[in-house]
Structure 1
Amino acid sequence: MFYVFDLDGTLALVEHRKHFVRNGGRQWRAFFKACVDDGPNTPVINSLLALQAAGHRIEIWSGRSDAVKAETIAWLQQHGIDPALLIHMRPTGNNVPDDELKQSWLRACVTWPDAVYDDRDKVVAMWRREGVACFQVAPGDF
């Protein structure tokens, strides 16, 4: 089977930096840069690692800007996740909403994922509209 995992709010705990984008705040650059202090969402990481160990195809699709790709790779390695699983990141300067960005990646796929792990409400709704099972790992209304 093929599983996709989101990063921010799914594999990585981002509560400490949500203030940059809450209540009308749109300080996305600061939000992304603060990723170095993210904690691991251990149950979700363990799920990814177990699915991978069982031989399933795993990809990470993140709306996080690729301006922090080096930091992201270091974080993945620190938490035992193969950085080669990081397939999609938001291109620097791209401001397309997450649900639209991930939908474009989905529609470009030859093989669609069997299931996705994500947190943001509007992204979860998109996956479900597209007929992809989605495990919502946390409330994501930012």
Structure 2
Amino acid sequence: MTARPLAVFDLDGTLADTGHRQHLLERTPRDWKAFFAAATEDPPFAEGVALALRSTEDCEVVYLTGRPERCRRDTLAWLARHGLPEGRLWMRPDHDRRPARLTKLEILRRIARDRQVRHVVDDDELVCDACEKAGFPVIRARWATPSDTLRDAQQRAGRT
């Protein structure tokens, strides 16, 4: 029997609504510790959760986030608390500050060596563009309110 294809989901802005904690990145210096600590209180996006649940019909759901590895325990608890499918979680190494479009694509290419990636679901336009350019099918998560603060954190600060 062959392994089912993977449905790869981002977290922040795709499954988790980060709106309530973005103010922590608007100050100088940015309060990254508080920003990630507040992730435990993120409400889920109904659209993202529904898509993840539907994806289990013919895929194995896994997660690929730009959150640092030190947030693993809280992130797994958040996924379980909101009824998301169990699945492997890939995270950014704690001190890796490269843009999300680079770190995520690097991990996706590694994943795709052994498994078919059915689709990648992400809110970050630059991540989506890079994935499409590399040949991965993409579903753009457009249900979050666009945020310049989060976009900057994803691309320039290399943090989410």
Match of 1:34 among 25, 32, 38: 38
Decide which structure has the larger Cα Rg and report it: 2
Residue 18 of structure 2 is aligned to residue 4 of structure 1: no
Match of 1:125 among 101, 112, 129: 129
Match of 2:60 among 57, 60, 70: 57
Indicate the residue corresponding to 2:74 in structure 1. Answer: 71
Given that residues 7 and 120 in structure 2 are in contact (C-alpha distance below 8 angstroms), is that contact kept between their aligned partners in structure 1? yes
> What is the TM-score normalised by the length of structure 1?
0.86
- SS for the counterpart of 1:108 is helix
- Count, aligned residues: 140
| Unaligned residue ranges in structure 1 (runs of 5+) | none
Residue type matched to 2:37 in 1? K
Given that residues 48 and 58 in structure 1 are in contact (C-alpha distance below 8 angstroms), is that contact kept between their aligned partners in structure 2? yes
Residues 125, 37 of structure 1: CA spacing in aligned structure 2 closer, same or farther, 3 A cutoff?
A: same
Q: Which moved more, 1:112-121 or 1:25-34?
A: 25-34
Of Structure 1 and Structure 2, which has the larger fraction of its residues in strand? 1
Quick one: distance in 1 between partners of 2:27 and 2:102? Answer: 21
User: What is the Cα deviation at residue 23 of structure 1?
Assistant: 8.6
Quick one: distance in 1 between partners of 2:137 and 2:89? Answer: 19
User: What is the Cα deviation at residue 140 of structure 1?
Assistant: 5.8
Residue type matched to 2:109 in 1? R
| Unaligned residue ranges in structure 2 (runs of 5+) | 152-160
